[in-house]
């Protein structure tokens, strides 16, 4: 299991860019991946607003230019080249103090033949803002390269400190062309059928919540993300919309896909794994699967919730009505569904199926571990098919 630490877990990917790469990284570690792109990135190379901002920079070089992303800065240079303004833009930016938010933005600046003046170790926009405000921006002209989303707090703070701010909109986020996967994901999150959702941009978070609003599932989705479904975000900017809504997120120290996957690997199994002994077997509940003596056994959502309820009962007998109330509170089903699910669960568990015991006229429980005596004997039907 060291080679596939996410075996048994279902992880959702909402990324637009590099979705295939993130999916492959997760699958390589054993995860079952649900792909649900939330947004798409549209370049604004023919956008009048970007053209006007570019001309304004050429007419009066900014004192400071903030490059927030590599792809965004490159997109700006490419758009300027397309309009025949590339050389003039680069020449004017040589007179500006260039701040880059991270190494990718730094690489794009250098590829354009320019040199950055400073970049924060944290790769945080907040640290860039702190530096600018500490130096003083009153009366200075600051161009902020955006990437798909506005930075209202960042720009507002600069304006409040007396700066003239030029927002450079290079890309826009739009809803995914096919919204069906995201709608299905909203249903799965609300029902607790995924173990983790990964986010690589704040617009992806907002797109998912917008669909949840449309489907009238916002409260259910947020409750799930506050509880059983782990929210893994690539960085603090991405996490901010969820954190404001009371969702605790996990984030890597550096905003990289590989680091995000490592964070999921380190966090998800520790939070969402339950290990017990039942009869002669060792069970390890991992998401919607169970490892029986180290061998993964896939379960349906209903089977996984039933087995989890039995594990968490700590050997106590659960009646059929208690299982309905505990394991499937959101489902409309009767006690016959419990009997059928138990029978199917025993089948998929194979030789270990006998660990799910029927206690006559009372309900179900997990078998006591071999070697542990029960305090009071109760009538048990070891197999009921």
Give me the CATH number covering residue 180.
3.40.50.10090
Say if 184 falls within a structural domain. Answer: yes
Q: Do the Cβ atoms of 178 and 36 come closer than 8 Å? A: no
Domain ranges, residue 294: 279-381
**Residue recorded with tokens 């409040």:** 160
Same domain for 256 and 367?
Answer: no
Give me the pLDDT at residue 375, please.
Answer: 42
Give me the pLDDT at residue 196, please.
Answer: 97
Same domain for 47 and 153?
Answer: yes
Give me the pLDDT at residue 302, please.
Answer: 87
Say if 70 falls within a structural domain. Answer: yes
Say if 5 falls within a structural domain. Answer: no
Regions in the chain scoring below 50 on pLDDT: 1, 373-385
Of 174, 205, 230, at which residue does a domain stop? 174
Give me the pLDDT at residue 11, please.
Answer: 97
- From the list 332, 378, 372, the residue with the least C-alpha distance to 357 is 378
Give me the pLDDT at residue 377, please.
Answer: 44
Give me the pLDDT at residue 378, please.
Answer: 44
Residues 6+ apart with CB under 8 A from 61: 92, 93, 95, 96, 141
Of 174, 189, 218, at which residue does a domain stop? 174
Say if 343 falls within a structural domain. Answer: yes
Tell me how many domains the chain contains.
3
d(CA 186, CA 183): 5
Residues 6+ apart with CB under 8 A from 160: none
Alpha helices in the chain (DSSP H): 19-28, 48-59, 70-82, 86-93, 103-111, 125-135, 152-160, 180-190, 202-214, 218-226, 236-244, 257-272, 301-312, 320-327, 335-349
Length of the chain, in residues: 385
**Per DSSP, what are the bridge partners of residue 118?**
99
Give me the pLDDT at residue 46, please.
Answer: 56
Going 211 to 215 to 219 to 220, the CA torsion angle's sign is negative
Of 174, 207, 229, at which residue does a domain stop? 174
Please tell me whether residue 36 adopts helix, strand or coil conformation: coil
């Amino acid at each position: 299991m060291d080679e596939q630490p996410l075996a048994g877990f279902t992880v959702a990917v909402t990324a637009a860019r590099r979705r295939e790469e993130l999916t492959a990284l997760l699958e390589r570690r054993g995860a079952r991946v649900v792909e649900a792109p939330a947004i798409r990135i549209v370049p604004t190379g023919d956008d009048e607003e970007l053209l006007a901002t570019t001309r304004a920079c050429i007419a009066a070089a900014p004192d400071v230019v903030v490059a927030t992303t590599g792809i965004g800065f490159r997109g700006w240079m490419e758009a300027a080249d397309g309009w025949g303004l590339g050389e003039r833009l680069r020449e004017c930016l040589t007179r500006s103090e260039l701040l880059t938010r991270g190494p990718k933005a730094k690489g794009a600046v250098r590829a354009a033949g320019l040199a950055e003046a400073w970049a924060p170790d944290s790769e945080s926009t907040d640290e860039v803002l702190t530096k600018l405000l500490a130096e003083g921006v009153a009366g200075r002209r600051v161009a902020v390269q955006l990437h798909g989303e506005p930075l209202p707090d960042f720009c507002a703070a600069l304006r409040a400190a007396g700066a003239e701010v030029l927002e450079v909109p290079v890309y826009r986020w739009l809803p995914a062309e096919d919204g069906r996967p995201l709608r299905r994901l909203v249903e799965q999150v609300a029902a607790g059928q995924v173990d983790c959702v990964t986010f690589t941009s704040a617009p992806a978070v907002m797109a998912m919540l917008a669909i949840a609003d449309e489907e009238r599932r916002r409260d259910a989705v947020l409750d799930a993300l506050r509880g059983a479904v782990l929210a893994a975000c690539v960085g603090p900017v991405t996490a901010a919309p969820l954190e404001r809504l009371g969702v605790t997120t996990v984030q890597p120290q550096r905003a990289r896909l590989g680091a995000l996957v490592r964070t999921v690997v380190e966090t998800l199994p520790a939070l969402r794994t339950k290990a017990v002994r039942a009869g002669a077997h060792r069970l390890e509940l991992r998401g919607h699967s169970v490892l029986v003596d180290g061998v993964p056994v896939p379960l349906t959502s209903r089977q996984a919730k039933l087995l989890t309820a039995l594990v968490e009962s700590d050997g106590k007998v659960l009646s059929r009505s208690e299982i309905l109330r505990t394991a499937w509170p959101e489902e409309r089903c009767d006690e016959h569904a419990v009997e059928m699910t138990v029978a199917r669960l025993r089948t998929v568990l194979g030789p270990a199926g006998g660990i799910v015991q029927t206690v006559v006229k009372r309900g179900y429980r997990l078998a006591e571990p071999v070697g542990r005596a029960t305090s009071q004997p109760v009538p048990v039907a070891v197999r009921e098919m």
